[in-house]
Amino acid sequence: MNLISSNDLSKEQINKIFRIADAIKEGSEELSIKEDSILALLFEKSSTRTRLSFEVAMAQLGGRAIYIDAQTTQLKRGESIADTARMLSSYCDFVAARMYDHKNIVEMATNSKIPVINALTDLEHPTQALTDMYTIREYKKNLKNVRIAFVGDIAANTANSLMITATKLGSEIVLVGPKDCLPEPIYFNKAREYGNVTATSSIADGIDGVGIIYTDTFVSMGQEASAEARKKLFEGYIVDKKMLGYASKDVLVMHCLPAHRGEEIAAEVIDGPKSIVWEQAKNKLLIAKALLIFLSKESD
């Protein structure tokens, strides 16, 4: 089994991963992967939390992660994704790939004999969405009663994966962004099949009564050339104390990091009492472990 898209997991499978994470947190010694397992981390883009969480997860589970900068491989000289996947399948037990083009990770999974994990593409970030919803579950307990606002770049890969995962689990999500930034239709329409998702340019309407405010960078990897235009597009959508005033009194704030204080989020908010950003980041390790255990059992 692979995790290429948030659509790959059923509600039951997501909850199974969460139960594994709970058991790890409680100190269960029965959860493991095959001894001396190898995870290949094939990355075209830079990474901090995703890379480290999988490297540490493998070490703590008794395996090993090998980081591969795609720019230093034969991919740079034209070797196909398919051939690379076949080769990795003969050396390793898992592959986690971070790629610019989502089509490339689909091709990798199609030609791989071992589980392939999407560690971020231009369209999706499914491991982040699992981490996000697990963190919300920790704080809000019953996901069916949670209303989440994703603010800013509502066409981002994080928004795509979050809206799919959140609606599958019974949460409501509202996408709050400028009129010139529309959600990806494929993901928006799919999420609406699972549950309640809406989009608005009105901060007052979108944030009204929400229990979670989530934001991400306004300039994703690969968009650096248009950075100034994008910052101008999202002016007014910074998560600050004024925005928090529209939400419920027990609102919590999330950010998948890295954060740019003063752009998408105010320093007083990310570093303030409503922020659960650091617990969210911490949970990436827990979910990486749980996902590896889940995939190893599903692939037996």
Q: How confident is the model at residue 220 (pLDDT cuts 50, 70, 90)?
A: low
pLDDT at 223 over 70: no
Domain 128-278 - what CATH class? alpha beta
Mean pLDDT of 128-142: 97
Give the per-residue pLDDT at 222.
66
Q: Where are the domains of the chain?
A: 6-124+281-298, 128-278
Distance of CA 143 to the CA centre of its chain: 17
The answer to whether domain 6-124+281-298 and domain 128-278 are alike in fold is yes
pTM: 0.95
Instruction: Reply yes or no on whether the pLDDT at 51 is more than 90.
Output: yes
How does pLDDT run across 235-259, given as a tens digit for each residue?
999 999 999 999 999 999 999 999 9
pLDDT confidence tier of residue 221, bands split at 50, 70 and 90: low
* pLDDT above 80: residue 29: no
281 has a pLDDT exceeding 80: yes
Pick the CATH number of 6-124+281-298 from 3.40.50.10700, 3.40.50.300, 3.30.70.980, 3.40.50.1370: 3.40.50.1370
Q: What per-residue confidence (pLDDT) applies to 171?
A: 98
Report which of 229, 159, 222, 223 is spatially closest to residue 6, judged by C-alpha positions.
159
Q: How does 99-138 read in b/e, with b if 16+ C-beta sit within 10 Å?
A: beebebbbbbbebbebbbbbbbbbbbbbbbbbbbbbbbbb
Q: What is the mean pLDDT of residues 155-183?
A: 96
pLDDT mean over 53-59? 97
> What's the confidence (pLDDT) of residue 225?
67
